[in-house]
């Protein structure tokens, strides 16, 4: 069952990319909302005790991501209504999802043994955050206009989400940390590429990068968190 759902997830991402490249709105309207449906489904299949607070928070983050996906379907032209309002709805939805991810990461870190991160390792893991922030400051911000404040706030929150993921280093199994950290970085790449595509220079290839990195982000975070949840449940037995 898990393999089938994983395959369906991959197909939904591929169909969304194909639809974006070929301007097939009907296919995109069906395929894109299914991405988070399959991610959430996989999470429920890969963990236990779904009524546990942390698991409910993860599923809530998936829900807000799903709402954001749907809103952004109608935000192709964010310079005027109604596209502007759909873009803001999507932005707020994903911002909420990131705040929920931060809550989950901080809770996991707080309930794990304290562990220092070597300074060189910390710097290396922060490099993607700094690089993407530099792209935002020097290439995207000059083009934001009235969207400057909301996009800047969003950029700060997603950076904090990635930093919260880094705080899990040595507090969960390394394989699980790598999944969560990679997911956070993929999310930053996806969102900054989306912003560049939306406000600076729209190009079909950028839309491909957005969807592939977005799918990789949500899947990686889901896999990492489900493994952490499952291991925690086993330790309590």
Q: Where are the beta strands (DSSP E) in the chain?
A: none
User: Which residue did the predictor score with more confidence, 49 or 132?
Assistant: 132
Residue 187 CA to residue 214 CA, distance in Å, equals: 6
Annotate 43-59 with b (16+ C-beta within 10 A) or e (fewer). beebbeeeeeebbebbe
pLDDT at site 93? 98
Question: What is 44-97 written as a DSSP string?
Answer: HHH-S-TTSHHHHHHHHHHHHHHHHHHHHTT-S-TTSTTHHHHHHHHHHHHHHH
Residue 102 CA to residue 8 CA, distance in Å, equals: 28
Tell which phi-psi region holds residue 49, choosing left (phi > 0), alpha (psi between -120 and 50) or beta: left
Tell which phi-psi region holds residue 173, choosing left (phi > 0), alpha (psi between -120 and 50) or beta: beta
Tens of pLDDT, residue by residue over 88-146, are: 999 999 999 999 999 999 999 988 776 778 888 888 999 999 998 898 889 999 999 98
Residue 72 CA to residue 44 CA, distance in Å, equals: 25
Rounded to two decimals, the pTM is 0.92
User: Which residue did the predictor score with more confidence, 132 or 10?
Assistant: 10
pLDDT at site 236? 46
pLDDT at site 50? 64
- Burial class of residue 205 (count of CB atoms within 10 Å of its CB; 0-12, 13-18, 19+): exposed
Expressed as residue numbers, the domain containing 121 is: 2-236
Mean pLDDT (the chain) is 91
Residue 236 CA to residue 128 CA, distance in Å, equals: 36
Asked if 204 and 176 count as a contact pair (C-beta separation under 8 A), the reply is: no
Asked if 29 and 73 count as a contact pair (C-beta separation under 8 A), the reply is: yes
pLDDT at site 121? 85
Which one, of 190, 132, 123, 196, lies nearest residue 159 by Cα? 132
Q: How many domains does the chain have?
A: 1
């Amino acid at each position: 069952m898990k393999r089938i759902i994983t395959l369906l997830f991959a197909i939904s991402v591929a169909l969304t990319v194909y639809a974006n490249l070929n301007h097939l709105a009907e296919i995109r309207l069906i395929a894109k909302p299914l991405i988070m449906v399959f991610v959430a489904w996989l999470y429920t299949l890969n963990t236990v005790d779904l009524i546990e607070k942390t698991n409910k928070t993860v599923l809530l983050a998936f829900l807000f991501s799903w709402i954001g996906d749907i809103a952004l379907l109608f935000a192709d032209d964010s310079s005027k209504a109604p596209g502007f309002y759909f873009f803001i709805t999507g932005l707020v939805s994903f911002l909420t999802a990131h705040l929920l991810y931060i809550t989950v990461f901080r809770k996991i870190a707080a309930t794990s043994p304290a562990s220092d991160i070597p300074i060189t390792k910390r710097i290396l893991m922060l490099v993607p955050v700094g690089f993407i922030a530099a792209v935002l400051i020097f290439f995207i911000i000059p083009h934001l206009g009235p969207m400057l404040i909301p996009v800047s706030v969003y950029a700060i929150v997603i950076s904090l989400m990635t930093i919260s993921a880094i705080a899990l280093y040595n507090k969960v199994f390394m394989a699980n940390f790598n999944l969560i950290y990679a997911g956070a970085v993929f999310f930053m790449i996806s969102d900054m590429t989306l912003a560049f595509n939306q406000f600076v220079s729209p190009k079909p290839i950028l839309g491909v990068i957005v969807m592939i990195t977005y799918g990789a982000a949500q899947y990686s975070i889901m896999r990492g968190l489900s493994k952490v949840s499952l291991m925690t449940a086993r330790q309590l037995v």
